[in-house]
Amino acid sequence: MAIQPVVRVQREDFDLQAEIDRLTDGRRDIGAVVTFSGLCRDEGGALGALELEHYPGMAEAEITRIAKLAIERFELLGLTAIHRYGKIAPGENIVLVIAAAPHRQAAFDGANFVMDFLKTSAPFWKKEHGKDGTQGGWVSAKDADDAARAKWAGNK
């Protein structure tokens, strides 16, 4: 039976422990669970909120594609990927990736792989809103994100 990832794009927050429990419930073949939760930074106290927009349907499809690649490549036993949209205040959750595997390295690599591809491939756009009420521009992709993704091309 093929492992199917859990993928959600949602406005509401998520509960890290509840998501881990849902992924591992009753499983005795899982030896490692690696989580990554991305939080909204305050950018030195200047950021009031980060607004995330996505392309509905396409965002879920792309995250699912990435998640399935990770499951196959790293032989994961489970994977959850949740990405929020809307206005997110500093300190709030933005993204969650949970990778479950028989051994730790596969779980670490799977979670890392998903995040590196999410940062560069998933159709999300970010706009900064200043604490002083000013609206910043849309945040551009970073070269470091592209470099992180590129490392997976030669790493089989």
The answer for 138, left when phi > 0, alpha when psi is -120 to 50, beta otherwise, is: beta
Residue with tokens 């790293």: 74
The per-residue pLDDT for 29 is 95
pTM: 0.91
Rounded average pLDDT over 40-55: 93
Residue with tokens 């607004």: 51
Place domain 6-150 in its CATH homologous superfamily. Answer: Molybdopterin biosynthesis MoaE subunit (3.90.1170.40)
Rounded average pLDDT over 114-129: 91
- In this predicted structure, the answer to whether residue 79 has a pLDDT above a threshold of 50 is yes
Rounded average pLDDT over 31-56: 95
The per-residue pLDDT for 156 is 44
Residues in contact with 77: Cβ distance below 8 Å, sequence separation at least 6, in sequence order:
3, 27, 29, 30, 100, 101, 102
Domain boundary assignment for the chain: 6-150
Phi/psi for 20 (5° steps) reads -65, -45
Confidence band (pLDDT; 50, 70, 90) for 1?
low
